[in-house]
């Protein structure tokens, strides 16, 4: 309980409006849109390879989300897939294998 003095003019009386009568009942419609609350989280679209690229993805171990093969011009490879130049794909896979990471082409 607060020990501060209230700035209200005194005690609040009982409600003076009608307390009985019609009530409103809201029922969901069959053609209503689904609630946002139950929708799943949005997911990023799958990566798409352009001409001269392949999609590489981490397969194992499951707890690694990103792997940087430290190859000039090769981006870090994610577990969801990354577009990599076809000329660097085999080298990135070999680098991953030498570090205990399985990388697959999609």
pLDDT of amino acid 67: 95
Burial of 102: CB neighbours in 10 Å, binned 0-12, 13-18, 19+: middle
pLDDT of amino acid 29: 65
Beta-ladder partners of 77: 67
pLDDT of amino acid 15: 66
CA distance 62 to 84: 21
- Give the pLDDT of the chain (106 residues) as one tens digit per residue: 567 777 767 776 776 766 666 666 666 666 666 666 666 777 788 888 889 999 999 998 889 999 999 999 999 999 999 999 999 999 999 999 999 999 999 8
User: Which pTM was predicted?
Assistant: 0.58
Domain limits, the chain: 53-105
For 55, half-sphere exposure in the C-beta direction (CA atoms, 13 angstrom radius) is 11
């Amino acid at each position: 309980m607060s020990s501060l003095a209230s700035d209200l003019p005194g005690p609040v009386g009982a409600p003076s409006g009608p307390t009985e009568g019609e009530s409103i009942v809201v029922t969901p419609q069959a053609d209503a849109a689904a609630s946002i609350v139950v929708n799943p989280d949005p997911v990023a679209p799958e990566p798409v390879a352009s001409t001269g690229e392949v999609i590489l993805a981490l397969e194992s171990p499951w707890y690694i989300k990103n792997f940087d093969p430290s190859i000039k011009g090769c981006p870090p490879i994610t577990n969801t897939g990354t577009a990599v130049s076809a000329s660097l794909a085999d080298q990135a896979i070999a680098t991953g294998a030498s570090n205990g990471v399985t990388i697959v082409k999609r």
